[in-house]
Amino acid sequence: MMEKKIFTQIRNEWRSNFFLALELLVVFVVLWYIVDWCCTTARVYFAPMGFDTEHCYNLTVNRLTPNSALYDPNLTIEDDMDALLEIAERLRHRPGVEAVAISQNCIPYGDGSNGIEVFVDTVSVHTMHRLAQSDYLRLFRIQGVAVQDADGRTVRTTSSDSLAAVLKPGTMILSRNAVAKYESLGMPDATALLGRQLPLWNPDSDNRLRVTGIAEPTRWNHFETADQWGGPFIATDFPREVMMEFENTAYLQLSLRVSPDADHGFMDALMADADRLYRVGNTYLLDIQPFSQLRYVNELENVNEVKTQLCILGFLLLNIFLGVIGTFWFRTQHRRKEVALRMAMGSTRRGIFVRLIAEGLLLLTLAAVPAAIIALNIGVAELVDVTQLPFDASRFFLALVLSWLLMAVMIVVGVWYPARRAMKIQPAEALHDE
């Protein structure tokens, strides 16, 4: 019954309501665009990273110069690599250390990466190359999907230990989405490749590795998706003979994880023992950094960019709030006579308040219909950011619902206070003022 009366009133006041609905339509579309950007950014930022760097450290290893009194000129590059392996082994036996791994240009939040090319049915698949010792998977807790056991059976598992157990010379681990973007393969999930022998760099190459494990994809940072660079990857083992090919320990990374109980004061204690325990030949431990610091450096530019965009959008959103609230505030104040008449005719304050709110929300809903059509076309035309997340129904409706709720809050605020003040005035006084 009330809905019918409100519709009738809106129709009778169509001229003023038309311009109000037009304002709501424009504001709704702008707000939807802002909300869509915020939701997309938040969804990307809070998505699973595919790894865990809490309680993890990156160690910098250096080589003594000829000017050092401890320098041994007879030691070769091969000796330096053996020294690095020895330091890693000593770290493994340090109390509180859970895992130690040597890798090459593939640590989380690192400043570089390597690509690798593997062929699947003559299709060239290019992904990030994680060249690392098997403990790398345990250290960063890379989540598994499936592995191939000794009998050639596919075993579903999420354990990083299971992945590490099957990463050996002659094998590789693929991320689940490693081949997803290659439509000709028709493999959204790389699990079907378990057990396959895949050639590297050339389809006719004799350098073939067997797929023994499938892992969940990782991410480059909190502002990149698992489908962007760094997400799809191929992991291969990093034996001593491959390390020798790099000819310099500076090109390798040494990482470790400690138990939560041993993390407090770990860096200071480790560096205090560095000269005594972690210098082998001409190779020595120079520095240690928590991965939280690497993350800060890696993401600093992205963080600053998002902060700038949030400031701009926040200012725009504030103006939208003030504009909508002000419109309904002004509109409600100029209906004091109507409020007074309804109170004089026996309407309750609650009933009047509900009516005013319902009228505003109905106008919002009517304006939201064409606004939704406009927003949908904006999304379909890819005038929103689709580089990270596709524009789909869930994304569209999420922003649509949140936009409606935000505008509903604005309308309630714009109506509530002036209506509350109007209802405190005696009807005779309000009518006299008019």
- pLDDT, residue 332, reads 67
* 153 and 198 belong to one structural domain: yes
- Cβ 35 vs Cβ 42: under 8 Å: no
* 237 and 316 belong to one structural domain: no
Of 222, 250, 280, the domain-final residue: 280
Euclidean distance between CA atoms 103 and 19, whole angstroms = 64
- pLDDT, residue 21, reads 82
In a domain, 344, yes or no: yes
> In the block, which residue shows the tokens 């579903």?
156
- pLDDT, residue 192, reads 92
Between 26 and 430, residue with greater pLDDT? 26
* 91 and 185 belong to one structural domain: yes
Query: Distance between the two ends of the chain, CA-based, in angstroms?
Result: 29
Least-confidence region, from 11-15, 123-127, 325-329:
11-15
* 216 and 318 belong to one structural domain: no
Euclidean distance between CA atoms 281 and 259, whole angstroms = 29
In a domain, 402, yes or no: yes
- Cβ 57 vs Cβ 274: under 8 Å: no
Least-confidence region, from 17-26, 169-178, 273-282:
17-26
* 93 and 157 belong to one structural domain: yes
Total number of domains in the chain: 2
Q: Sorting pLDDT into bands at 50, 70 and 90, what band is 23?
A: confident
- pLDDT, residue 363, reads 85
Write down the H helix ranges in 251-290. 266-272, 274-277
CB burial class (10 A; 0-12, 13-18, 19+) of residue 9? middle
In a domain, 288, yes or no: no
* 269 and 369 belong to one structural domain: no
SS3 304: helix
Instruction: Give the model confidence (pLDDT) of 109-152 as tens digits.
Output: 998 899 999 999 889 999 999 999 999 999 999 999 999 988 88
Q: Which of 350, 359, 286 is nearest to 60 (CA)?
A: 286
Euclidean distance between CA atoms 102 and 423, whole angstroms = 74
Range of the domain at 410: 2-47+299-433
User: Percentage of the chain surpassing pLDDT 90?
Assistant: 66
* 264 and 182 belong to one structural domain: yes
Instruction: Give the model confidence (pLDDT) of 258-311 as tens digits.
Output: 999 999 999 999 999 998 999 999 999 999 999 999 999 999 999 999 999 999
In a domain, 91, yes or no: yes
Of 232, 250, 280, the domain-final residue: 280
Structure tokens at 261: 């109980």
* 134 and 220 belong to one structural domain: yes
* 140 and 264 belong to one structural domain: yes
* 352 and 317 belong to one structural domain: yes
In a domain, 323, yes or no: yes
Question: Any idea what the Cα angle at residue 68 is, between residues 67 and 70, rounded to 5°?
Answer: 140
Between 379 and 4, residue with greater pLDDT? 379
Q: Which of 406, 390, 358, 294 is nearest to 59 (CA)?
A: 294
* 19 and 123 belong to one structural domain: no
- pLDDT, residue 430, reads 46
Of 248, 280, 312, the domain-final residue: 280
Using the predicted structure, report yes or no on whether residue 326 has a pLDDT greater than 90.
Answer: no
Using the predicted structure, report yes or no on whether residue 416 has a pLDDT greater than 80.
Answer: no
Structure tokens at 167: 């990463």
In a domain, 173, yes or no: yes
Cβ count near 221 (within 10 Å): 16
In a domain, 181, yes or no: yes
- Cβ 49 vs Cβ 219: under 8 Å: yes
SS3 227: coil
Using the predicted structure, report yes or no on whether residue 411 has a pLDDT greater than 90.
Answer: no
In a domain, 148, yes or no: yes
* 133 and 80 belong to one structural domain: yes
- pLDDT, residue 289, reads 96
- pLDDT, residue 355, reads 75
Q: Is the overall model pTM greater than 0.85, yes or no?
A: no
